Amino acid sequence: EDRLLKDERARVQSDFNEADFERLENEIKRLDTDNFTKNKSLADLRKRQSRAIEKIQALQSRINKLREKQNDHQRLHLKLEALDRERKDLESTISNLQAEAAQFQQTIAPIRQKIETEQNARRENNARLSKIETMMTESRQRVLRDLDTLKEKILSLRKWGSSAAREERQRLFTKQKEMEQKIE
């Protein structure tokens, strides 16, 4: 290969003079150097491009995550708004129910008062009835005692045969019937 280059060089030298040859060699070296520099620059550019692509991808990933967070935030914001509306509706419902309860209390207050009055009257009536029953029981016992006494008197008067005794017996017998009716 070196020999071929030398032969080629010799042929070219014969066509060109030495100065032209040096100028061409220098031009080739300069072009080789430029080519090497450009290749190196291209490699550097490719590395920088690769790093830039990685950075872009990382940024895109962060952007996507931020978008997801933003979407989550928006969804949460919408949920919060819905919950706030629901809370306001519930507060309104509670307020309405409280107003209805107050109105109901006003409506039933007279009824409650009437019930209490009737219960008090019933208690008083029950107390009176209890007293009346006690009095009736005592009265019945007195009447029964009086009746027993009358029966004894009637029996003792039967033993007497006089007309005065018969009249007294009749009067006592009538009184006995009246007492029995009272007992009933």
- Domains: count for the chain: 1
Gap between the Cα atoms of 56 and 79, Å rounded: 34
Gap between the Cα atoms of 170 and 144, Å rounded: 19
DSSP track, 27-51: HHHHHHHHHHHHHHHHHHHHHHHHH
- Among residues 12, 39, 33, the alpha carbon closest in space to that of 24 is found at 12
Tens digit of each residue's pLDDT, the chain (184 residues)? 777 777 777 776 665 566 666 777 888 888 888 888 888 888 899 999 999 999 999 999 999 999 999 999 999 999 999 999 999 999 999 999 999 999 998 998 999 899 999 999 999 999 999 999 998 888 888 888 887 887 787 677 666 556 666 677 677 778 778 877 776 6
What predicted TM-score, i.e. pTM, was given to this entire model? Answer: 0.39
pLDDT of residue 3: 79
Give me the domain span that covers residue 174.
Answer: 2-183
Q: How far is CA 166 from the centre of its chain?
A: 94
Inter-helix orientation angle 163-183/18-159, to 10°: 180
pLDDT of residue 122: 94
179 HSE (CA, 13 A, CB side): 19
pLDDT of residue 63: 94
160: left (phi over 0), alpha (psi -120 to 50) or beta: beta
